[in-house]
Amino acid sequence: MITILCSGSRGDFQPYIALAQQLKKLGKDVRITGSKSFEGFLRSYGIDVYPIAADIESLNVDPKLLKAAGSADNPLKMLLTFNKMKEYGIYMVNDYYSACEGSELIIYHPGCTIGYFAAQKFGIPSVLASPFPVHKTKEYLSVVMYGKTKSNVLSKKISYAMLQGMLWMASKDSVKGFWKKRFGKVPDNFSCPFEKHIDKKHPAITSCSNFVFKRPDDWNENIHQSGYWFVEEPCEYTPTDELAAFLNDGEKPVYIGFGSMTAFEKHQGLAEMSVEAITKSGKRGIICGMGKPANLSKNIFAIDSIPHSWLFERVSAVCHHGGAGTTAAGFKAGIPSIIVPFSNDQFAWAHRAYDLGVGAKPIPKKELSADKLADAIRFALTDKIIANAKALGKKIATENGAIECAEIIVKCLER
């Protein structure tokens, strides 16, 4: 049994579902850890689940912390939020460790480093699996500072120290506390495992296209990156008659949706602003996850949720918050991006889309207005941006990230 340790929102789990799907195709038994609230979602993909008792609801996480996590728009705020959130990790480590027992290999998110130390304890291999580039390089800034500061030797060094420091902070104290209580001491070689502990028995894999951020030449040879990990949907999505009719009733619409950001906070007026922007741009639109605002016109359709893999192939451009998974889905679809970053690494993906020439200039949430969003939609739908986005989508289609990373994991086991 291969166990995957993961946590976070629904979008955080999707790359790991993709990885699990490919491991199953290679004949491996695999399961993903997840809170009970996600169990049905994970099982809908045919993936076994090890349910984690502790989650945001059962731990009564302070709503103010969740709001802070969803609005940390600079590295200092991110660091402070991670520091405050780490206390909740203590309650989850026991379940994560139990999930590792009896496994033949552990795959762990960089925020779940208990996976590395548990594997070390059991004498089995472990794989660090990151949903974005996390390893040090001299080639570009980390995702917590990309687009936010000038790139030079010092800033790049600081940016990776900050990124890795925050991820290590998320689990270091909880792992140490659990280990001391259970074994009377800290784990052997207790330190951040993201760099010096990477070897053939403990490789690292990254979900990222080499056409978005090329794999750096100065990475350890045991760090692998061969494309995004895209989920294979268990069945073809069937739209409602109303949505199908809307899509067939004119030019392709612009999509606007902000994912988990609207779950942290309602962001009053965001839906109305989105509708106004679409109207001012002169385009048709679909808004997602923001309810049904009063100013909805016949040229705009409101939905609660929908698979991005299905819808993005049927729209002209995508406007979203810049989550790594949503950004990847937009890039894969070969359509322009308009990214409104709210927090954390979202700024990096927003700036990268603009730097690659496949999207509009980022509009931070704090600066968002209907006029700015309308201008961004018009810019994104110019011929040059459309052509660049289409070309990037074709390049990404040549990669097989989840398949190749699953093969690396199986080879690790065979050794």
Residue 156 and residue 281 share a domain: no
**pLDDT surpasses 90 at 209:** yes
Which residues in 192-231 are b (16+ Cβ under 10 Å) and which e? Answer: bbbbebbeebbbbbbbbbbbbbebeeebeebbbbbbbbbb
Q: Which helix (H) or strand (E) holds 293?
A: none
Out of 210-214, 266-270, 277-281, 305-309, pick the least confident: 266-270
Asked if residue 281 and residue 257 are part of one domain, the reply reads yes
Token duo for residue 146: 């990309």
Q: Which residue has the tokens 């780490």?
A: 86
**Is-contact 160 137, C-beta < 8 A?**
yes
The answer, yes or no, to whether residue 88 has pLDDT greater than 70, is no
Mean of pLDDT values over 66-72: 50
What count of other Cβ atoms lies within 10 Å of the Cβ of residue 28?
17
* Low-confidence winner among 81-85, 194-198, 370-374 (lowest mean pLDDT): 81-85
Summarize pLDDT for 234-256 with one digit per residue, the tens: 888 899 999 999 999 999 999 99
Global pTM value: 0.88
Q: Does 259 have pLDDT greater than 60? A: yes
- Residue 30 to residues 41, 112, 162, 288, Cα–Cα distance (Å): 16, 17, 32, 32
Residue 233 covered by a domain? no
Count of other CB atoms within 10 angstroms of residue 384: 11
Is 166 in a helix, a strand, or coil?
Answer: helix
User: Is there a contact between 412 and 200 (Cβ–Cβ < 8 Å)?
Assistant: yes
Write out the H or E segment, with its range, that includes residue 224.
Answer: strand 223-225
Residues 116-169 pLDDT 10s: 999 999 999 999 999 999 999 999 999 999 998 899 999 999 999 999 998 898
Distances (CA, A) of 358 to 93, 137, 392: 41, 24, 8
Residue 82 reports pLDDT greater than 80: no
On whether both 390 and 405 belong to a single domain, the answer is no
The residue range of the domain holding 148 is: 2-228+400-414
CATH code for position 168: 3.40.50.2000
pLDDT score of 267: 66
Q: What is the pLDDT of residue 216?
A: 97
120/311 Cα distance (integer angstroms):
43
Distance CA 20, CA 78 (A): 30
Asked if 257 contacts 287 with a C-beta cutoff of 8 angstroms, the reply is yes
Residues 342 and 410 in one domain: no
Q: Cβ(366)–Cβ(77) under 8 Å? A: no
In this structure, is residue 369 part of a structural domain? Answer: yes
State residue 63's pLDDT score. Answer: 52
**Are 381 and 307 in a shared domain?**
yes
pLDDT band per the 50, 70, 90 thresholds, residue 266? low
Whether 300 shows a pLDDT value over 90: the answer reads yes
Q: Evaluate the CA torsion angle 207, 345, 306, 354 in order and state its sign.
A: negative
Taking the CB of residue 62, how many other CB atoms lie within 10 A of it? 12
234 within domain boundaries: no
Neighbours of 257 (CB within 10 A): 22
Spatial separation of the C-alpha atoms in residues 153 and 127, rounded to whole Å: 29
Whether 59 has a pLDDT exceeding 80, the answer reads no
Instruction: Indicate whether 190 and 330 sit together in one domain.
Output: no
Classify residue 254: in a domain, yes or no: yes
Q: Based on the domain organization, do 292 and 157 belong to the same domain?
A: no
Pairing of strands 300-303, 285-288: parallel
In a domain, 235, yes or no: no
Q: How far apart are CA 410 and CA 19, in angstroms?
A: 12
Residue 232 phi/psi, 5° resolution?
Answer: -95, 115
Going by C-alpha positions, the residue among 258, 404, 377 that lies closest to residue 317 is 377
- Whether residue 103 sits in one domain with residue 191: yes
Same domain for 160 and 21, yes or no, is: yes
The per-residue pLDDT for range 17-26, each reduced to its tens digit, is 999 999 999 9
**Which pLDDT score, from 0 to 100, does residue 79 have?**
52
212 and 253 share one domain: no
- Residues with Cβ within 8 Å of 40's Cβ and at least 6 positions away in sequence, in order, are none
Nearest Cα neighbor of 290 from 324, 329, 327, 261 is 261
Residue 314 in any domain: the answer is: yes
Residue-wise pLDDT for 89-115, tens only, equals 566 788 899 999 999 999 999 989 999
Domains contained in the chain, number: 2
Radius of gyration of the chain (CA): 21
The Cα–Cα gap between 152 and 139 comes to 9
Q: Which amino acid is at 168?
A: W
pLDDT at 9: 73
Assign 268 a pLDDT band (cuts: 50, 70, 90): confident
Domain co-membership, 256 together with 200: no
Those residues whose C-beta lies under 8 Å from the C-beta of residue 414, and which sit 6 or more positions away, are none
Provide the token pair at 276: 């106004």
Q: Does residue 236 sit within a domain?
A: no
| Residues 199 and 306 placed together within one structural domain of the fold | no
Predicted local confidence at residue 296, as pLDDT? 84
Give the whole-angstrom CA distance, residue 229 versus residue 330. 14
Q: Indicate whether 74 belongs to any domain.
A: yes
Q: Does residue 329 contact residue 233 with C-beta atoms inside 8 Å? A: no
How much is the pLDDT for 29? 95
What secondary structure, in 3-state letters, does 84-121 show?
Answer: HHHHHHHHHHHHHHHHHCCCCEEEECCCCCHHHHHHHH
